[in-house]
Structure 1
Amino acid sequence: MDVRSLENPDFSAFLDSQGPRRLPPCDVKETKYTITSYDGVNIDIYHFVRNDHDKSEEPQPALIHAHGGGLVACSISDVSRPTPARIAAESGVQCFSVEYRMAPEFPFPTPLEDCYAALKWVVDNADELNVSKTRIGLIGESGGACLVAGLSLLARDRKLSHLPKKQILIYPMLDNRSSQNALSRPDDPRSQYFSNFIQMNEICWNAYLGYTEWESLNPDIRPYACPARTGNFAGLPSTYIDVGSLDLFRDESVAFAAELTAANVDVEFHLYDGVPHVFDIIAPNIPITKNAKDNRLRAIRSI
């Protein structure tokens, strides 16, 4: 089965809302850079900055963005360009969105290594980009949030010269056991919504892991593939997480926030009542979505 052709109403809503009919804001300048990833292959980074961005000599904060799409879909060039453009337009913080290679053609670790290459490139070229090395944040939604959480672990463990100041995880996909856990709880009020999403989630995880069982992965790399299953949360950046109470990823988000807190990492966690995955895209004008967007903007501006 082609993982990009799954029939799921919420996934279709995501694609429709992000498509070419919704162009990036006109007050944002877009620049494409091409860099070399870990394996010598060139990848693109899209830089979005508001036209009235401060041009002073003072280095500015920046975001590294990993787009959603279950690690298998929604490339920046074809679908997801409006998301980082709106982030830059609404927050005033410049955003570097990574055109990482996607599963199943490029399973783990390629998507994550592409994001690491992008982060390192921004750090190494911070002076030319007018970026403050000490004010670089990471942001991702759904599958992109999986990459962001893995990237924070990778930057910490590889002792990157300047670590991310904050990670912002929007309804994050963090644990490959989510589908099995959901199926074991038939009384869960989310079960009706789960039916299609479970299938899609399983296919996406299998594609990302290269159709390899978790137990067969090298133990040294497992935490970077499924960040929720790392045994060491210490030293990670300040973290913002939000998720809906009807989201398949609710429980892993709650558990991830708890583990970070236990490791003395600063955490801001929001659980929004009665909304499912990609609720902000399905219902952009409801009060909960407006509240979530305000909270995200505040977190971004705190970088």
Structure 2
Amino acid sequence: MRIVFAGTPEFAAGHLAALIAAEEHEVVAVYTQPDRPAGRGKKLQASAVKKLALEHGIAVEQPQTLKDADAQAQLANYHADVMVVVAYGLILPESVLRIPTYGCVNVHGSLLPRWRGAAPIQRAIWAGDSHAGVAIMQMEAGLDTGPVLLEKSLPIGADETSSSLYDKLAQLGPVALLECLADLPSKLSSAQVQDETLVTYAHKLSKEEAQLDWSQPAEVLERWVRAFNPWPVAWLISATGETVKVCRTQVHPGQPGAAPGAILQADKNGIVIQTQEQALAILELQPAGKKPMPAAAFLNGRAEQFPVGRQLGGVSDE
């Protein structure tokens, strides 16, 4: 098939690479976000998808919007059988969805209708889901609302972080996409409409919500830390009022009668803090301006930040 590919980050580039390698398909054009300033010098940087397309001599389009007639006419000129969309970052108007012969299909990092939206990988870990996956869906005007053509799932490990799960789904997605495209007309005719009663939304992450809340159970906070790794990284306010990032934790027995936020232990084995249910042992932390380090290394010279018996609380100035 003649394919127009739309995507921007590394996750999307992996899918584009699979399409390029598939001899039965031809990628006739790539759509990606305009170059953005990045790094200390704030120089314009091309997206991972653009770099890959240019390496293979594929035409690259970077419109600010697809809502105007000229952009839509340019897309129509490629005479695509299908438009494949993976983490593109621009809204596709309904008129655009109708341009390719078979419409537009999207690769989404969740088992729809669970976790529609911007952060499905992180929300699945945070919620304690047993499985994650990718869904290939036919795009509609709504947010991740289209009928599902194909899904593939995998278990979420007990120590899974957003980073590790992202890597696994980045491998699974291209496999699912190629399988779907191999028999697209049949997949479209048998597409499954999403059950609206099962919908959950994966809202965009924020630094503010990454602050650990000691009124939550320890098992929830342990997932919290894994879900926010590698961004924005879970954090707390130490007894001296400093913001400290929390990189790795485990559930630990609590102390009967201790208030949530109470520091129960601070030694080479970890910093143990009481929660609503049980306690959370912090094994790796990252002070401001430093790299992540084991609890023992953190406490060497910073023990005043976690005095046993004190109760943590407070709100960051960030």
TM-score, normalised with respect to structure 2: 0.30
Structure with greater contact order relative to length (CA < 8 Å, sep ≥ 6): 1
- By percentage of residues, which structure has more strand? 2
Relative to its length, the structure with more helix (as a share) is: 1
Q: TM-score, normalised by structure 1?
A: 0.31
